[in-house]
Amino acid sequence: MRSIILPISLGLIIGLTNCSEKRYADPLSPEASLKTFDLHEDFIIEVFAAEPHVWDPVELVFDERGRAFVVEMPDYPYKPEPGKGRGRIRLLNDTDGDGKVDESVVFADGLPDATSMQPWKGGLIVTSAPHIFYLKDTDGDSKADVKEVLFDGFFENNSEAQITNLRFGIDNWIYAANNGQAGVVSYTKRPEAGKLEMRGADFRFRLDTDQFELESGTAQFGHTLDDWNNKFFTQNTLHIQQAVIPRRYLERNPDQASLNVNANISDHDFAMFQQTPPPYWRAERTRRRNIQYQEQKLDRVEHAEKYFTGASGGTVYNGDAFPEAFYGNVFTGDVAGNLIHRDVLNRDKETPVFVASRAPEEKEREFLASTDPWFRPASFTVGPDGYLYVVDFYRQHIETPVSIPDDLKEDMDFANGENHGRIYRIRPKSESTPRDLSVDLVSKSPAELVDLLAHPNGWYRLNAQRLLLEKPDLAIAPAVEQMALSHNDARARLHALYVLDGMGKLSEAIIKQRLNDPHPEVKRHAMQLAESHATLKQELEKLTEDSNPAIALQAILSLGGYSDDETVTLLSKQLIARGADKWFRMAILSSEAGADSRFLAALKEHGEGDWQKDFVAEYAHVIGATGDKAAIASFVAFLNSPSMAGGETWQSAGLDGLANGLKRHSASNEQLKALLASIATSKEAAGKNLDQLLGAL
């Protein structure tokens, strides 16, 4: 039975529909709300900041001075009128050093739908659809006096699905979630670069090199990168997905049937252990919908509780305060379920994707679950102290009003709670005294920043790398080279590689050595860096045979920039060896040689089974979308070959794929029919199959 993720008890509905009862709970004080938390037994949670010093918080960042900035979203869930946005960024201060914020300053206001920040050159990059701004305080009064538009043109009609979640990657790019929304984006510093069509993709950019481009994934409000730049993200009901292939590779051959590389990597899917009952409006709406589905005899059931519906803020923990077993785990809030979920990530040994599993002690519980229905854990960050900070939006209601029937909205105040907000700190019980949060990387010398690339807390590593990128000092290059070549921590080696790359000092010799790195993730990045060095092509070819599927996939992707005979022969061999995995088929089709007929020849010689049929359809779509007459004729001849292994099964799949590809072609139907008719006159093509194609157009 198909299930929509939004079990519900009849008794609860009956009780809640009694209008004489109060339908919605009142807010609790921060201290009272703390008492509602059922947290993992090895940790404690405490208030870091609360009203009146923070309202409506959706994201927290610590800059290189250790300053805590929070972005607030008081306009949610409504779109503000032009020029009347109330979004704010506050600078939070702990003036007495007790570990709790007792003062805040409005750093910037009037920001419509501001959702995310990334420190950069002493200021902040801020997402505020339709813009990405750069804000900076230049006179030391803790208020931004510089406001510069960096990018313009992002989708701006749904506050839950707009540009957000800025993340600095180890590769020196800044990544952002766009939820696949349409938009036509331009970069104000490079108008000559043209506009970027955003539909179906996320976004990434570099301000040091003035680059911007599409990125794979359709992250909503939850987007995170691990130590190795693997990207994981959330989308409401799907609490953890992986973007398997970076978009830049797919752009080499965008005529594939699908550019969707989102993989739901959860092995436990939608169920969560919620401790709050569903709110009245959700229970009643679900009841009505299920009646409707039954009346329409649809095989469909909607759930109002205990299933992910508001997954948000997924964040990789890479700090140095939690026990080792928690390092690399992903923490995700569900703002509808009032809880924090934890996923343990492991590489799948058979495919190039991760598997996200519950920890053994959380098979029937969550890392944290609250009985306070106002608890809305929207996002997380790891601080300089290595602790996990939880940003609690703290609202009575969290839902887009347009999705709720009008009669159910009559006693709902969607702004109830806009003068509330909490930020919590989670730390291990094993530490009797909290760590000091104060830090100042600005005072560090370049050599000291290089040393921090090996710090056990990822906050230090990434911020040190960013500062070295913002102000390169070539005098430190020898020390960075030494770290890249010989440091015993693979993370430090990788940071060093990209510091050198950002400085323009990464040599081919260093890349070649790291292509043999004992750590597979360093090796994977070395292959990406080798793509601009043709002399390293032979090294990439060897790695296509690697037993680690993630390494083999990257080798194929990195070789995809070549189209010589040797590369086509190698990719054909890999197609036969690994084609049962769709990610490898996509990688091969994304290559410069993706529509080469020799792939079909290899399939014809060795192929049989379902995946070969799938490849025939995928290949056919590519050549159909190009509209190349010779390629289409050759493909039809292939389908009609009497010795073809797949027979009628392949013919049907191939013709379907070809028809779908032709529909994407820019020519009109009449032009396409004329093209196919001309092909039918050739000796190699059988008209009976082209009749099927003509009928599909």
What DSSP letter does each residue of 619-685 carry, written as one string? HHHHHHHHT-HHHHHHHHHHHT-TT-TTHHHHHHHHHHHHHHHHHHSSS-HHHHHHHHHHHHTSTT-
Both structure tokens of 658: 């070809």
% of residues, the chain, pLDDT over 90: 79
User: Would you say 159 and 151 are in contact if contact means Cβ atoms under 8 Å apart?
Assistant: no
How many Cβ atoms are within 10 Å of 436's Cβ, its own excluded?
11
Percent over 70 (pLDDT), the chain: 92
End-to-end Cα, the chain, rounded Å: 34
Ramachandran area for residue 27 (φ above 0: left; ψ -120 to 50: alpha; else beta)? beta
pLDDT of residue 586: 97
pLDDT at 694: 54
Q: Is the pLDDT of residue 688 over 60?
A: no
How distant is the alpha carbon of residue 526 from its chain centre? 22
CB 656 within 8 A of CB 650: no
The pLDDT of residue 354: 98
Residue 211 has a CB neighbour count (10 Å cut-off) of: 14
Q: Look at the chain and count its residues.
A: 697
User: What is the rounded average pLDDT of the residues 235-246?
Assistant: 95
Structure-token pair, residue 21 = 């009862």
Instruction: Name which of 323-332, 353-362, 658-667, 670-679 the model is least confident about.
Output: 670-679
> What's the pLDDT at 422?
98
Q: Report the C-alpha gap between 344 and 355 in whole angstroms.
A: 8
Residue 3 pLDDT exceeds 80: no
Residue 420: which residues within 8 A CB-CB, separation 6 or more? 27, 51, 55, 56, 374, 394, 395
pLDDT at 238: 94
pLDDT recorded at residue 687: 44
Whether residue 252 is predicted with pLDDT greater than 60 in this model: the reply is yes
Question: Kind of pairing, strands 2-4 and 354-357?
Answer: unpaired
- Residue pair 584/553 in contact by the 8 Å Cβ criterion: yes
71: left (phi over 0), alpha (psi -120 to 50) or beta: beta
- Distance between CA atoms of 302 and 319, rounded to whole angstroms? 38
Residue-wise pLDDT for 193-205, tens only, equals: 999 999 999 999 9
Domain residues of the chain, as ranges? 7-428, 595-697
Q: How confident is the model at residue 469 (pLDDT cuts 50, 70, 90)?
A: very high
Question: What are the strands, taking DSSP E only, across 259-387?
Answer: 262-264, 300-302, 311-316, 330-334, 339-347, 354-357, 368-370, 377-382
DSSP 27-65: P--HHHHHTTEEE-TTEEEEEEEETTS--SEEEEEE-TT
At 469, which helix (H) or strand (E)?
helix 458-470
Residue 324 has pLDDT above 60, yes or no: yes
Q: What strands, in cross-sheet order, belong to the sheet with 174-177?
A: 164-168, 174-177, 202-206, 211-215
User: For the domain 7-428, what is the CATH superfamily, name and number?
Assistant: TolB, C-terminal domain (2.120.10.30)
Taking alpha carbons only, the member of 45, 76, 43, 41 closest to residue 58 is 76
Query: For residues 142 and 675, what is the distance between their CA atoms, to the nearest angstrom?
Result: 66
Going by pLDDT thresholds of 50, 70 and 90, the confidence category of residue 609 is confident
Contact 193, 248 (CB under 8 A): no
Q: Which helix (H) or strand (E) holds 540?
A: helix 537-543
Residue 7 has pLDDT above 70, yes or no: no
Going by C-alpha positions, the residue among 259, 287, 150, 157 that lies closest to residue 208 is 150
Q: Which residues contact 37 (CB under 8 A, 6 or more apart)?
A: 45, 368, 369, 370, 375
The residue type found at 564 is D
pLDDT category of residue 232 using cuts at 50, 70 and 90: very high
The total of other beta-carbon atoms located within 10 Å of residue 79's CB is 16
The count of other CB atoms within 10 Å of the CB of residue 633 is 20
pLDDT of the residue at 541: 97
How many other C-beta atoms lie within 10 A of the C-beta of residue 417?
20
Is the pLDDT confidence value at 49 over 60?
yes
Contact yes or no for 315/330 (Cβ under 8 A)? yes
Poorest-pLDDT segment among 101-110, 596-605, 613-622:
596-605
pLDDT tens for 636-677 read 888 877 666 666 788 888 888 888 888 887 666 666 666 666
| Mean pLDDT value across residues 160-183 | 95
Q: With 90 as the cut, is the pLDDT of residue 62 above it? A: yes
Q: How far is CA 275 from CA 38, 174, 272, in A?
A: 9, 37, 10
Q: What is the pLDDT of residue 686?
A: 43
CA distances from 398 to 17, 74, 567, 658 (A): 20, 12, 53, 45
Q: Is 171's pLDDT higher than 90? A: yes
Q: Which position has the token pair 């045979």?
A: 545
365-421 pLDDT, tens digit each? 999 999 999 999 999 999 999 999 999 999 999 988 988 999 999 999 999 999 999
